[in-house]
């Protein structure tokens, strides 16, 4: 009787394992990632060196199959920052054509003494070249200029 119970439990466990691991195509999720256009970006008039700022960025999602999950490419190019928001796009679903806007924030710590140049992706032009919303933000260095170790701080910043 003990062996029968053990065998029955093993058969049930094995059956549950096989059923739960079935490859049911109803759960497939086809999607791709795509850069989306920035409509606007809210930046301060200037950065104070060493401070952290939250930059609000508003993007356009072309239809109901586009979802934004806080994913972006943030590319350093000297003093320029290229920002490409990336959306998750569901494939094979019917989508309504309502354009929606969503806003997200990214943190920026001002750690360079030169002005920041932000380039926010806005799509491609007729020639297929990326276009950008470009905003320059100067860095207030007053707290550095009164420091007698300014040269050493600038050297450290240059090597970061």
Structural domains of the chain ordered from first start: 31-158 (2.60.40)
Within 10 angstroms of residue 121's Cβ, the number of other Cβ atoms is 21
Question: What is the per-residue pLDDT across 113-123, written as a single tens digit (0 to 9) for each?
Answer: 999 999 999 99
Q: pTM of the prediction?
A: 0.72
Q: First vs last Cα of the chain: how many Å apart?
A: 72
Residue 157, pLDDT > 50, answer no
What was the pLDDT predicted at 117? 98
Mean pLDDT value across residues 30-51: 96
């Amino acid at each position: 009787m003990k062996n029968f119970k053990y065998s029955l439990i093993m058969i049930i466990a094995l059956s549950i394992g096989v059923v739960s691991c079935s490859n049911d195509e109803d759960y497939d999720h086809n999607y791709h990632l795509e850069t989306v256009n920035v409509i606007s970006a809210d930046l301060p008039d200037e950065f104070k060196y060493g401070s952290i700022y939250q930059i609000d960025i508003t993007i356009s999602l072309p239809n109901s199959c586009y979802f934004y999950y806080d994913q972006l490419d943030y590319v350093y190019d000297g003093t320029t920052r290229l920002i490409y928001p990336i959306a998750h796009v569901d494939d094979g679903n019917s989508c309504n054509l309502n354009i929606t806007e969503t806003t997200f924030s990214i943190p920026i710590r001002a750690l360079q003494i030169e002005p920041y140049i932000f380039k926010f992706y806005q799509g491609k032009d007729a020639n297929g070249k990326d276009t950008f919303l470009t905003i320059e933000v100067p860095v207030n260095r007053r707290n550095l200029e009164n420091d007698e170790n300014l040269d050493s701080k600038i050297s450290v910043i240059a090597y970061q």
